[in-house]
Amino acid sequence: MQASHEISYKRVWNLAWPIILANVTIPLIGATNVAVMGRMDSPIYIGAVALGVVVLQCIYWSFAFLRKGTTGVTAQAYGAQNYKEVYASLARALLIAFSLAALVVILQELISFLAFEFFLNGSEQVEVLAKEYFSIRIWGSFATMGNYVMLGWFYGVQRPKLALALRVAMNALNIPLAIYMVLVLKWGVAGAAWSAFISHHFVFILSLIAALVLLRKEHSKAGKIDWGFLDGVLEQAKLTRVFKINSDLFVRTVLLFIAFAWFTSAAASSSDMVLAVNTVLINLFWFVSYALDGFANAAEALVGQAFGAAKSQMFHEAVIKTSKMGLVFAAIFSLVYFFWGETILSLLTNLDSIKVEAMKFMPWLIAIPLTGIGAFQLDGIYIGMTQTRILRDMMILAFGIYAMAITILEPILGNNGLWLSLHVFLIVRAISLAVPFRKLCDKVLTP
């Protein structure tokens, strides 16, 4: 696990491409469950899984900060070649993840009641089945949140191909298992839930085994694992630091979720057509963001390593080279949407009315990779530096400006106002993080 201090475009790419593919696989379990339900004899099964997945996504998306928080801390320990702390950071993050998972499981009845009684509207049959799906999968919170930590840790120790292999393994098990349990065993919604539950636990166990193999290889005495790193897991100062990092990222993540939920809610309030158009276009935005996030993740790992090693030149090269590659790929995505946007829309819907209306707003989508790349990259750089308080504060600022923009612009400009507000949100995030960046580097990084 010897850390190389050389930064090249090839190394950035080797870190980024497995992360890009791994990110793209994230929504596949929910999509698989919906697809399998589509083979049942009633639409209520699709509706039930769709509602159940929405509730679970709201919960788990809120705790996705566990991945980012783990990457930054681990990358710094990796850069400092403090391998005891590399493994202690994993154990510490898992302890926090399991504590949060236990809280979610304990509160599952309250969560279910609030979700299905106040926020989601479905027929009685659909809600009964959705609650069944939710009640099974919620017990998988330990594995799901544990997988966030493992993913972040593998990124931190720069093992992105291993992370990709584990994500592929999850779907390779889930897809046939869902088909077997739902269509062969006729377990219905419960079959879809159990297939996802088993897949998450299977990959979490594989991840732990992989981490133990690395531990034995890099941190062993006389062929036996040296468990001495566990002595520092409960060290108060380090636990406090991790808690602060994760709490800052939690606030950031929740505000990000609310921002996009507000965008969708405003579209729904406008008309069914606007909602349909924005749903199609925002899915294309998510594809871009997942892809470009690969370069932000590479920045997390390389900046964190440089920061931990206190190597100024490596730090600056990591910032510049990951950002340049992110910008190049952002431009490529914009060009793809410019030349083939209409063709891509046809893959998502065959309704001419939606396609015609969506093309009116395609310029907003074409521009969004370029307006978003700054925010994506700076997020990754700040996480690598574990300067999460600035991330939190600038997200609060950006959200406040976004709230004013969407309140003022949407009534005046309609759907154009919604998309303009989203661009304002991304641009403000980038500017607000860029302004303190140089001064922060001078303060916290040894020349």
pLDDT tens-digit series, residues 372-419:
999 999 999 999 898 999 999 999 999 999 999 999 999 999 999 999
What residue type is assigned to position 340 of the chain? W
Q: List helix spans (H) across 219-235.
A: none
Torsion of CA 50, 419, 281, 164, to 10 degrees: -80
Structure tokens at 57: 């996504």
pLDDT at site 41 = 61
State yes or no: pLDDT of 266 exceeds 90: no
pLDDT at site 50 = 67
Torsion of CA 413, 418, 419, 423, to 10 degrees: 110
pLDDT at site 3 = 58
Helix or strand holding residue 220 (H, E): strand 220-221
Phi, psi of 176, deg, nearest 5: -65, -35
Q: Is residue 23 within 8 Å of 293, Cβ to Cβ?
A: yes
How far is the C-alpha of 198 from the C-alpha of 279, rounded, in Å?
30
Q: Is residue 309 within 8 Å of 79, Cβ to Cβ?
A: yes
pLDDT at site 27 = 60
List the domain boundaries for the chain: 1-234, 235-447
DSSP class per residue in 29-59: HHHHHHHHHTTSSSHHHHHHHHHHHHHHHHH
pLDDT at site 225 = 65
State yes or no: pLDDT of 222 exceeds 50: no
- Most trustworthy range by pLDDT among 215-224, 258-267, 292-301, 303-312: 292-301
Q: Is residue 152 within 8 Å of 93, Cβ to Cβ?
A: yes
How far is the C-alpha of 332 from the C-alpha of 324, rounded, in Å?
12
Q: Is residue 326 within 8 Å of 296, Cβ to Cβ?
A: yes
Quick: pLDDT tens for 211-221.
988 887 766 55
How far is the C-alpha of 103 from the C-alpha of 110, rounded, in Å?
11
DSSP class per residue in 162-199: HHHHHHHHHHHHHHHHHHIIIIIS--THHHHHHHHHHH
How far is the C-alpha of 16 from the C-alpha of 158, rounded, in Å?
10
Quick: pLDDT tens for 97-151.
999 999 999 999 998 888 877 666 666 777 788 888 889 999 999 999 999 999 9
- Mean of the per-residue pLDDT values of the chain: 85
Q: Which residue has the higher pLDDT, 42 or 89?
A: 89
Q: Is residue 101 within 8 Å of 142, Cβ to Cβ?
A: yes
Q: Is residue 59 within 8 Å of 140, Cβ to Cβ?
A: no
The three-state secondary structure class of 224 is: strand
